[in-house]
A and B are shown apart, each in its own frame.
Chain A
Amino acid sequence: MTTAIAEAVPGTSRSAPAAKEIWTPFNAHSEGQRLFKEWYATLETANERREPVANVFVMGNAIEILRSFDFHMVFPEINSLQSGVRKTSAEFIRISEDYGMSPDVCSYVKADVGMMLKEEKEPLGKMPKPDLSVSSNMCGTFIKWAEIWERRHKMPSFVLDLPGQRSSSWVVRPGDAQHSADSRWVEDQFKDLIAKCEKITGKRFDIDRLAEIQGRVNQMVIHWNNVMELNRTCPAPYNAMLDGLTYIGIMNVYRGTVEGVEYMRRLEEDVRAKVARGEGRVPEERFRLLFSGTPCYVSMRRLVELFETWGGVFAYSDYLTFAAGGMDAAELLYDTSRPLESLAEVTALAAQRGLSNQFFAHERMEKQIKDYGVDGVVFHGIKSCRFVSAGMADTRDYISKRLDIPTLYIESDLIDPRYWSDAQIKNRVDAFFEALQQRGGAGPLKGKATHAQGRTA
């Protein structure tokens, strides 16, 4: 059931690179870009080939099931953030506001609506019309966003309800009564989704196929977990808020594919080699930081530059956890001998992990600060995203007072350039580093190096 069979993103070449046979230097960024271009190119012609398409989100998406039915996955969040990176989001946001959308709602949604209204090629290609959307309650806006597609494309939207942490100090262990109850609910919904997929595609559900995909997801999760653990070393081999964004992009878009496994395998190899060489992301690492929130994609490089010029590197970000659906823990592996039950059990745990990172952020952050040996925490409040921002200032207050950790709070937006105020943010960043220095600073390799052992995929 778990025998690896070459499985590619539908429509792409089925032959995965044979890394052992032909050695090529690996550049995680350029290889990530290549894979993204390939994915977009495949999407462009999906409707012509009459292949099924699903709109999904990066959290709570049931990709394993959709992939077993050969759905192409469109991630409108990624399209929107790409419009930010490529500096075209302002125009799309303007179009959607002219259409009647409020200035106070999610800028990702507005950029997507702007793209739909303009009916032009999106940042990296023309998006196919979806046959289905899968959203979840992990972010409330997902549901309203899916309702927009439902109305515009006259297609069904499936909301996957994933119960999260109910209260503070909430502990759910795999197999306990609460986890079993939540898993049963998630499994009931998966069965319903499978019936819908069968109706849309005309295909019978293939449980062996699901198990194969899960096997590949397991490999990706192990590599990803190791990659994250490797950043506990000092100097940090990558910046969680720059390099890390490419990595989670691949974790999402290529989840459960041969290409995805291969990318993550080579990434781990590459990062491990950097650690062995003592090679850090910044030439002289002086401050290790934790970033809470999402990036400002219109000023992504600038944001990182403001910190790196001070020798500050983001060793960890909760974004890497929740934006990969919480799938960054080595214990979250599927039991491929019971595919559907296991999918529900792991999804329930992973979703909770992703949600807890935000709604009870202080509990996990305390551990992350220790694990990654960080000197300070940077909170990035996003004007149009209450999921990451509504509890942020209060979490900051708690972290500063209870843990005596220096913190910085800055505010802008995901992709709306109107809310990026460069001079103001630079002043605050500079003041933050001056305060860090006054506390005695933090020197490179100051007894913080930890050895990340990792697991073997």
Chain B
Amino acid sequence: MSAQTVPDYEAQLNAILEQCHTATLDASIPDASALPEGFTGTLGHFPVYFPDEIAHAAGLLPVNILGGGNKLEMKHADARMGSFVCSICRSTTELGLNGTLAGLTGFVTHPICDAAKHLAGIWSRNLPDQMSEILYLPQNPNSPGAARYVAAEYQRLRAELAHKVGHPISDAAIRSSIRLYNKKRRLIRDLYRIRSDEPWKLSCSESYMLVRAGTRITCEAHIELLEQALTAIRHRHVAAQDKPRVVFVGGFCEQPPLEMLETLDDACFIVDDDLLIGQRWFTQDVPEDVGDPVWALAESYIERSHASPVQHDERKPKGDYLMAMLREGKADAAILTAAKFCEPGLDEQLFWSKDLDEAGIQYLVLEFEEKMTSFEQMSMQVETFAESLLFALA
């Protein structure tokens, strides 16, 4: 009888993180000819939120287009977009013009800001063979009729995708996709629970990579990856360090470079954040066994979603959700970031800072760009901030 071997969880986790790290740095999209069975193409969508379930049910792999990171060389977009437009819109345009996104079946953007809306026009002028459009998610979720409007918009999208793939998208297929995505979102919530309860076991940059990996692979594969990762993380033996607990906000659309998150991790425990918030948009499961699955998605969007700087919702007053994140994460302070030239982010950053001033909570203001490559100065700022917090808390 042989002794049962204990899995090397650390090695497993390292391998998963390495795979996610590679995926995070790669702005390309999966090749349509190499997609898993059941998928016939890829549907690109701009942040913040997109109903992945509808694309998934159509047999299109939803791919969250998250810009070009800090390795992309800009050859075309500089001549097509003013210098005062945010990096993610400029690099997305570059990826469209340089052929990186040529394999997409379609590209969908949203009315999260004016620059993002312009991407649909840019796409139609330069990639006329690709389906490109604006999914008009509402900026008024409070008036009666909002869920009905969202459902109609989703049905329109469903019809267009069905036309594109050449077959109808059944309710049963959407229900099945909802079940899968609910499971995925539950696993992501588990990751964030670990971040809050035992932040020394999982850093912000690690959890970010694990979530981001799901923007390039099928939901099924991502669930498997997350389950393996969570098991390994739970078995991780890492001693808690003396670091302040902070909340990070401002990463809801343009993505901060991985090196920036690692710099923050070095000095703080980031117990909550709004990175890739669209991947875990719903605060509860979308109802699974209902008559109309599109209605379930639409109603969840209106009634059970996270707050974001790019959506006005009178039930989610500005500042309140940051306070809730701080309270629930038992955080000592906040890191308030905004992407350069991001109007919603920069305006929200000011709101946040005024609220924190009023509440007497410490915060650090940072501005970033996805293309930034130097982090020394930021590192010094963050270290000083963390030390001052530790000193104040001692």
Enumerate chain A interface residues (CB-CB to B < 8 A). Answer: 99-102, 104-106, 109, 136-137, 139-141, 143-144, 146-148, 150-151, 156-161, 163-168, 178, 181, 184-185, 188-189, 191-193, 355, 358-362, 381, 383-387, 389-395, 397-398, 411
Contacts and interface: CB of A to CB of B under 8 A. Distances in A.
Given A146-B312, A391-B122, 17 more contacts: A100-B354, A101-B350, A105-B347, A137-B140, A140-B113, A147-B312, A147-B318, A161-B140, A161-B146, A184-B145, A188-B143, A188-B148, A191-B144, A362-B125, A383-B84, A386-B118, A387-B114
Contacts of A383: 82, 84
A271 B142 CA distance: 45
Contacts of B346: 101-102, 104-105
Given A359-B121, A395-B125, A140 B82 contact: no
A99 B357 CA distance: 13
A385 B85 CA distance: 9
Interface string B120-155: 111011101001111110111011111011001100
B118 A391 contact: yes
Contact of B145 (A139, A189, A358, A359): A189
A166 B310 CA distance: 19
B343 interface: yes
Contacts of A157: 312, 314
Contacts of A393: 79-82
B134 A359 contact: yes
Given A101-B350, A104-B84, A189-B145, A360 B312 contact: no
A390 B132 contact: no
Given A140-B111, A189-B145, A386 B343 contact: yes
A387 B111 CA distance: 11
Contacts of A156: 314
A123 B37 CA distance: 65
10 contacts: A102-B346, A106-B343, A136-B139, A144-B344, A151-B354, A167-B131, A168-B125, A355-B117, A390-B118, A391-B118
Interface string B228-257: 000000000000000000000000000000
Contacts of B125: 168, 362, 394-395, 398
Interface residues of B, number: 59
B52 interface: no
Question: Max chain B CB contacts within 10 Å: which of A101, A159, A392?
Answer: A159
B353 interface: yes
A137 B131 contact: no
Contact of A163 (B131, B136, B341): B136
Nearest to A389: B82
B114 A141 contact: yes
Contacts of A148: 347
B340 interface: yes
Given A137-B111, A394-B122, A185 B145 contact: yes
Contacts of B343: 104-106, 140-141, 144, 386
B112 interface: yes
Contacts of A193: 143
Contact of B152 (A105, A159, A181, A386): A181
Nearest to B348: A144
B263 to A, nearest CB: 22
Interface string B92-113: 0100000000000000000111
Interface of B: 79-82, 84-85, 89, 93, 111-115, 117-118, 120-122, 124-126, 128, 131-136, 138-140, 142-146, 148-149, 152-153, 156, 310, 312, 314, 318, 338, 340-341, 343-344, 346-351, 353-354, 367
Nearest to A106: B343
B84 A164 contact: no
Contacts of A411: 82
Contacts of A386: 84-85, 113-115, 118, 341, 343
Nearest to A409: B82
A166 B155 CA distance: 14
A397 B80 CA distance: 7
Contact of B114 (A101, A139, A146, A398): A139
A313 B312 CA distance: 41
Contacts of A397: 79-80
Contacts of B350: 99-102
A146 B133 CA distance: 27
Contacts of B310: 140
Contacts of B112: 140
B81 A394 contact: yes
A381 B131 CA distance: 28
Nearest to A96: B350
A76 to B, nearest CB: 15
Contacts of B113: 140, 386
A102 B144 CA distance: 35
Nearest to A137: B139
Contacts of A360: 120-121, 124
Contact of B136 (A102, A151, A164): A164
A166 B135 CA distance: 7
A170 to B, nearest CB: 8
Contacts of A389: 82, 84-85
A257 to B, nearest CB: 27
Nearest to B357: A100
Cβ-closest 6 pairs across A and B: A188-B145, A168-B124, A391-B118, A167-B133, A192-B143, A137-B139
Contacts of A144: 343-344, 347-348
Nearest to B153: A163
B338 A102 contact: yes
A161 B134 contact: no
A390 B140 contact: no
Nearest to B86: A386
A358 B120 CA distance: 11
B312 to A, nearest CB: 5
Given A102-B338, A140-B112, A147-B318, A166 B134 contact: yes
Contacts of A140: 111-114, 117, 310, 343-344
Contacts of B89: 390
B138 to A, nearest CB: 4
Contacts of A392: 82
A359 B117 contact: yes
B243 to A, nearest CB: 28
Contacts of B143: 161, 188-189, 191-193
Question: Max chain B CB contacts within 10 Å: which of A163, A164, A358?
Answer: A163
B351 A147 contact: yes
A99 B349 CA distance: 12
Contacts of B117: 140, 164, 355, 359
Contact of B121 (A105, A158, A159, A391): A391
Contacts of B344: 140, 144
A166 B133 contact: yes
A100 B148 CA distance: 39
A103 to B, nearest CB: 9
Nearest to A193: B143
Nearest to B313: A159
Contacts of A192: 142-144
A106 B346 CA distance: 11
